Amino acid sequence: MGEDLAKELTSARVQAYVDSRVIICQTVAFQKDVEKYGKIEYMKCTPENGFFPDLSKTSRTGSVAISISSFSKYAGFTGVGLGWTVIPKQLAFSDGFPVAKDFNRIICTTFNGASNMAQAGGVACLSAQGLKAMHQVIGFNKENTEIIANTFELLGFKVYGGRNAPYAWVHFLVEVHGMFLQRFLRKLTWLQHQAVGSDQLVKVLLE
């Protein structure tokens, strides 16, 4: 949308979102004192704001947004590659030309389209039987995550999430969280991920 525009990213965040901006030269020099790149606005997501940033404090907000999603998490399509982008018709460049038309031209030029196999899988997922199967898998994973969240709460840890999605964030003290990460990785059949920008929060997933 233009290299002169600021980019908003949540913090904590997946580091790849920052790296991709750096690679295509949409940032300026790395600021060592705060460990952040210029031209990126880091929107804090903390327990105090319900892990949802205050969008009114960003430099640019509006009534339109580009939505990008995929079947990767919803249907386990990671590696298959099938997603979609929704661009509001009213979103336009300064000369009035629709962003959707420009986006479509770029995508059609640089991408040959998803494979027949991926498209067939997507259609199957959206069928009545496919939707039922996806909801069953999601329900199973949510149940496992709720067990994890409840267990950590019984042990006296502060837990976020684990109710409406198959992810749980557990708050560890700095001096012990490394020990727990090693135990999850080497002793238990659990996968975990430490968020960048929130060193004390660890997401634990049941494999």
Over residues 81-93, the pLDDT tens digits come to: 898 999 988 888 8
Q: Say yes or no: 138 and 200 in one domain.
A: yes
pLDDT at 133: 92
In terms of domains, do 156 and 195 share one? Answer: yes
- Overall domain count for the chain: 3
Return the minimum-mean-pLDDT range out of 74-78, 100-104, 132-136, 146-150.
74-78
Domain finish residue from 115, 150, 177? 115
193 and 150 in one domain?
A: yes
Q: What is the DSSP string of the chain?
A: --TTS-EEEEESB-HHHHHHHHHTT-SEEEETTTTEEETEEEEE--GGGTT---GGGSS---S---EEEESTTTS--TTT--EEEE--TT-B-TTS-BHHHHHHHHHHHH-----HHHHHHHHHHTSHHHHHHHHHHHHHHHHHHHHHHHHHHHTT-EEEE-SSSS-EEEE--HHHHHHHHHHHHHTSSEEEEEPBT-TTEEEEEE-
In this structure, are 132 and 176 located in the same domain? yes
The answer to whether residue 77 scores a pLDDT higher than 80 is yes
User: Does residue 56 sit in the same domain as residue 73?
Assistant: no
Residues 138 and 190 in one domain: yes
Same domain, 139 and 201: yes
* CA-based R_g, the chain, Å: 20
The answer on 49 and 20 residing in a single domain is: yes
Mean pLDDT in residue range 62-80: 78
Where in the sequence is the domain holding 172, given as residue range(s)?
128-206
Same domain, 9 and 39: yes
149/54: higher pLDDT: 149
Task: Determine, yes or no, domain membership for 120.
Answer: no
Q: Is residue 157 part of a domain?
A: yes
Whether 122 is in a domain gets the answer: no
Q: Which residues contact residue 202 at a Cβ distance below 8 angstroms, ignoring those fewer than 6 apart?
A: 169, 170, 172, 177, 180, 181, 192, 193, 194, 195
Co-location of 68 and 89 in the same domain: yes
Q: Residue 197's domain is classified under what CATH number?
A: 3.90.1150.10
- 122: which residues sit within 8 A by CB, 6+ positions away? 71, 77, 82, 114
